[in-house]
Chains A and B, each alone.
Chain A
Amino acid sequence: MTPDLKEHYDYSKWLSEKELTPLEKTYLTILIWADQRLRIVDYLESMENLYYKINMQMPRSHTEQYNLDNKFWYWYPLFALGTFSVIAYIVAAISGALLGFYYSPATAGDPSVAYNQITYIMTDLNFGFMLRSIHRWSAQVMVAAVFLHMLRVYFVGAYKEPRELNWIIGIILISLTLMFGYTGYLLPWDQLSFWAGQIGVEMALSIPILGEWVAQLMFGGFSLGQATLQRMYILHVFVLPFAVTTVIAIHIGIVWMQGIAEPH
């Protein structure tokens, strides 16, 4: 049964009666239009509830207990390393997406298509040399920042009691970051890439029992070729970005819930 629309409040009348600037009027019109269809107010209310009801903090804060506010600032650079790795990750993602427009993972030809595309990016493409440089350096910086971040966490004992889980997630993240670096290292398909890949296959084969299976799965065979490059490419641009982004979100979410382990 169609509800009688006359029962509804006449919002257009209400709008015309009010004295509004054009900006306010546009805003209210859009808001009312969207709210009548999506009931945004429900979501806003529940967000507000969340904001007031969930106290996303550990009950005890060390800075408060020992009055360390005035001593915190000189530790700040060390405590910004996590942020630094996220920023580097974002820069790498943007420059990587732009590089992805011009790269193709194919070993056909001599030198291979992949190698030719990198040469093209570095010599012919406008800003291509800069783009590749930025991508590579942001990756290097990310790895360095992640390592230093881990050292900071170790030396201030931040991995201890309530934060064991986040430490383990961090170990997973650093391994995924190294895998990111490794798969990216193989993509230009130059001599270094090829022989680094060779070492990778041999490492995979040396794993007891599972070795051959792992080598098949990750490298697409026991000798390097098109399948290897294809897999490294998909790992680098599809699998790892989703995995790493998700795990980073969980990692930071837990930091949000638990608070930062302050130095003392």
Chain B
Amino acid sequence: MKRKTYKKQKDNVEFPILTDGSGLMQNPVPPDDQTPSWSERKSRSTGLAQLTYEYFERARLEDQDIRSRADYLEREVLGFPMWPHEVVRGFAITSFFIGIILLLSAVAPPHIAAPANPSQTPAVILPDWYLYWSFGLLKLEPLNPALSILGGDKIMLDRTFGVLANLVVVGFLAALPFVNKGKARRPVEEPFWAAFGVAGVVFAFTVSVLSVKNLVPLNSHLLFDLTFILPVLFGIVFYSLLKTMREGYMYELNRRYYRLRPPKPYRPPKPPK
């Protein structure tokens, strides 16, 4: 899809940036005269509505300020054409995915167990595989602290502890963007958080194995310890690996960094008095 090019503005005197959402004066599509601008709306309204319009006006100004200063918007093509590029790729991928589902369902169809019988508990009770981690978190009773203040009683029921463990895991995931802030995106840029993620994935696996511990030919105490040791171990290994990789990437990262902000000319440090 070709559109008119944006030309970068050296100064905004001749073509002032409008803050009503219509953008630069030489926008491909001129604004509709009938639509009131944010400034007009602002001047007509009072109270909260006026504040809202004032904010919109400001937010638009910021957007357009960025656009007018950025040089990467100067280009002929705004995106790949929908047809045929995206449509063909989408169709191919969709067919492929549906094909996988059909193949799986043909190769391994599900079967049905004996009918429900409340009077007979089966030897193995399991949810579907994707709930193993949650099921495993219900079996953390050795971690439930027994406090001497309470006369050696546990702080809460074991099953309450397990349910709370689930809530803690999900709650921590939800809080993640507020815990780990910043602009870094690559795992090498933040070795700790990448290693933390790896440890989390490994813990999801080990705790899943813990949930089926009566099927695992291992001492249950050993299994319980491994559940917590293995994730930490993997975390440490990945942390050091990423740290090492980062040294190798340093050259490239620095180059990119200085491309954004050219280094200041070197000034010799002042001698101490």
Contacts and interface: CB of A to CB of B under 8 A. Distances in A.
B245 to A, nearest CB: 14
B159 A141 contact: no
Interface stretch (A14-22, A26-34, A200-208): A200-208
A161 B110 contact: no
Interface stretch (B9-17, B45-53, B124-132, B228-236): B124-132
Interface string B76-118: 0000000000000010011001101110111011101111111
B118 to A, nearest CB: 7
A141 B184 CA distance: 31
A185 B114 contact: no
A147 B190 CA distance: 22
A163 B163 CA distance: 29
A49 B201 CA distance: 46
Nearest to B30: A52
B138 interface: yes
Contacts of B174: 167-168, 171
Contact of B70 (A60, A154, A157): A60
A60 B184 CA distance: 16
A208 B116 contact: no
10 contacts: A59-B63, A61-B72, A64-B75, A83-B93, A112-B115, A115-B116, A140-B104, A151-B197, A171-B174, A195-B122
B182 A193 contact: no
A171 B116 contact: no
Interface of B: 21-22, 28-29, 31-32, 35, 63, 66-67, 70, 72-73, 75, 90, 93-94, 97-98, 100-102, 104-106, 108-110, 112-118, 120-122, 125-131, 134-135, 138, 156-157, 159-160, 162-164, 170, 173-174, 176-178, 180-187, 190, 193-194, 197, 201, 256
Given A134-B101, A155-B187, A189 B160 contact: no
A64 B94 CA distance: 27
B107 to A, nearest CB: 9
Contact of B186 (A143, A171, A207, A264): A264
Given A181-B130, A194-B118, A203-B138, A175 B67 contact: no
B185 A196 contact: no
Nearest to B135: A199
| 8 interchain residue pairs of minimum CB distance | A111-B115, A194-B116, A164-B177, A133-B105, A133-B109, A157-B185, A206-B159, A137-B105
B114 A191 contact: yes
B185 A156 contact: yes
A59 B65 CA distance: 10
B97 A157 contact: no
Given A111-B116, A143-B128, A159-B176, 16 more contacts: A60-B66, A61-B72, A66-B256, A115-B112, A132-B110, A140-B128, A164-B178, A178-B131, A182-B127, A182-B128, A188-B112, A190-B113, A199-B127, A203-B163, A208-B164, A261-B185
B103 to A, nearest CB: 9
Interface stretch (A35-43, A84-92, A230-238): A84-92
A118 interface: yes
B128 A264 contact: no
A136 B105 contact: yes
A195 to B, nearest CB: 4
B127 A185 contact: yes
B109 A132 contact: yes
Interface string A141-179: 101100100010011111111011001100100010010
A120 B88 CA distance: 40
